[in-house]
Structure 1
Amino acid sequence: MIDGNTNNKCCESEQTQNHSHSHSHDHSHAHSHLEDISGKRLFWVIVLNLAITTSEVVGGVISGSLSLISDALHNLSDAAAVVISYIAIQLGKKSSSLKHTFGLKRAEILAALLNSAVLVGVSIYLFYEAIKKFYHPEPIAGGVMLIIAIIGLCGNILSIFLLESGSRENLNIRSAYLHMLSDAISSVAVILGALGIIYFKIYWIDPMLTILIGVYVLKESFGILKNSVHILMEGVPINISLDEIKEKIESIEDVLNVHHIHLWQIGEKEVHIEMHVDLKDMMLSKTEKIRKEIEQLMQMYGINHVTVQFETDCCENKNILCNRS
């Protein structure tokens, strides 16, 4: 989507406004149908993972296995990721309002921030408990640990089955699918650990698995935490270069300068940009052609909402940022 903005007091007579929308009814209907199916399956995946998490926490307390509790944390982190995916699908159906002109797309980012912050804290606590168990190993009920881990694996396999078809067509669903796959691998590791405890009495394998699973959860959670804060602080998406965008737009015929660029992310899939574009002259036919070229360029970067303010030598400060000397 491209917008043209005319609200610059210094040169109202020298600006033009362009606004365009494009919709495909068939594509929107198919996309909505996919979201309905995926939304229902995501809901059951959430229910399954919360059940697995609860059973592993209870089983970990009964058996004395810290790695089961760590695996529960891993399941909880991935259940949180699925919850975020589910929220994204549901909120994506809501239109913007006079109170929330961008809609409620930031809710998924806030949820990701909260979940990841909690998981970082819990991971650090489990590291502390695991280190204590290395120095003071305790007997573990390997049989209980094995049964609960097998239940967890079965639940993860069912979750993978529920998401497999949607993962081929939807990146959001694919992300949840990969989370469930990593859960299944983690459950296999706990099963192997339980067998080691049952047959060889190697109790140190439990805190070792706790640390390995905890490192993975910490790495994933910290990445989500960092990215969530960056988005909430209106940061430029990490895969986009403002200097490169400026250079490419200025290579368009009749464009003299691009300045006062603002680029930010609303949600996971919505990126906005606004800019001032200096033209040689303001002929309407030229501005329309330039607008289309800018729109095509921005689509290459995954930017789906563009506001362009056309002007002719209006702003004194023509730096890439408003406050940059």
Structure 2
Amino acid sequence: MTFNNHQEAEENGHNHTDVKNISSTRLFWVIVLNFGITLAQILGGIISGSLSLISDALHNFTDAISIIISYIAIKLSSKETSLIHTFGLKRAEILAAFINSAVLVGISCYLFVEAVKKFISPTHITGSLMLIVAIIGLAGNLISIFLLESHSKQNINIKSAYLHMLADAITSVAVIAGAIGIIFFKIYWIDPLLTILIGLYVLKESYSILKKSTHILMQGTPTEISIEGIKANIEKLDNVKNVHHIHLWALNEDDIFLEAHVELPDVMLSETCEIKDKIDEIVRKYKIMHTTVQFETDVCCNKNILN
């Protein structure tokens, strides 16, 4: 006998919808800003002969593409369930976060290589033009950060886009510092040094998102939930002899699913409904709103916690 329960707190549902609607609007303007910054940096790099500005422009262009991916993912995740996608497309945001963080890791490695090249062969840069373009880039990055910051703590996909913008802002500050150093002190080595420091920061931040998104995509158990704890609490209920064959996974950051076999003595159907309600009450404390419970009476030979 199997019971399904798919409950969602109504107010939480509205909150998540509001966040996604607001975030998608803000992401759109962040995309526009980044393409504008990219164009300005390419033109500035060509005119000044600054390879670092052109490299940073490519970095911003990559970020704009990654944010487009985030924007599309938010739209896809709001799609209703269907016979083809019974869970909907909610996992699109996790996939976008994975792609974006993986790109950031790649960019970090690229920055390290370019920094070493600049240490070996410093390039001449027109510092004044480099400074002006870097300031324009920083202004655009700061606006983008302001648009995304409030929602970055609530959504891993938005957080990955936010980190892209934060990394760009830090890069712009580094470029400004490098331009000042070049203008007044002719210290060209400061540019690759700052590039390495920026790369290390970006690598650290992106790795945590890459790790978390990979864990969700591989249907790993949410790190904050103990399967043993759930099993122990359910087995404290009257008439529950054993809980086994437990599966616990997250569809995205908000939707956590649990399925399990629950062994009972010979009881009436009405009593199983009461037990199911008590199980739902227990798992809600773990923020699990989607449960599938199979009641049985000494059916499974293997009664391990995992099958």
TM class by smaller structure = 0.7 to 0.9
191, 209, 212: which one aligns with 1:224: 209
Post-superposition Cα deviations, 1:265-294, rounded to whole Å, max 9, x if no partner, equal 222322212111112443344433332333
Point out which structure has higher relative CO (alpha carbons under 8 A, 6+ apart).
1
> 2 CA distance for matches of 1:20 and 1:81?
33
Deviates more, 1:88-97 or 1:269-278: 88-97
2:3 corresponds, among 14, 17, 27, to: 17
Matched, 1:301 2:286: yes
* 1:289 matched to 2:245: no
What residue in structure 1 maps to residue 74 of structure 2? 89
Which deviations, in whole Å up to 9, do the C-alpha atoms of 1:138-163 show, x marking residues without a partner?
22222222112111111122224434
> 1:9 is matched with which residue?
none
* Structure 1 residue aligned with 2:105: 120
TM-score normalised over the length of structure 2 = 0.82
Question: Alignment RMSD, CA only?
Answer: 3.2
What does 1:97-246 align with in structure 2 at a 5 Å threshold?
A: 97-163=82-148, 167=151, 171=155, 175=159, 180-181=165-166, 183-246=168-231
When structure 1 is superposed on structure 2, of 254-263 and 122-131 the one drifting more is: 122-131
The residue type equivalent to 1:265 in the other structure is A
Cα separation, 1, equivalents of 2:301 and 2:16 = 46
**Counterpart Cα distance in 2 of 1:30 and 1:116:** 25
Which moved further from structure 2: 274-283 or 178-187?
178-187
Sequence identity percentage: 56
Contact 1:66-1:130 within 8 A present in 2 as well: no
Q: Equivalents in 1 of 2:210, 2:153: separation in Å?
A: 27
Say if 2:50 and 2:126, in contact at 8 Å, map to a contact too.
yes
In the alignment, residue 136 of structure 1 is paired with which amino acid? S
Structure 1 regions of 5+ residues with no counterpart? 1-14
Deviation string for 1:39-60 (max 9, x for gaps)?
2222111221233245445545
2:263 is paired with a residue whose SS is strand
Q: Is the 8 A contact 2:8 2:289 kept in 1?
A: no
Moved >6 Å (runs of 4+):
none
Equivalent-residue separation in structure 2 for 1:78 and 1:185 (angstroms): 14
Name stretches of at least 5 consecutive residues in structure 2 with no aligned partner: none
Amino acid at match of 1:66: S
What amino acid maps onto 2:299 in structure 1? Answer: C
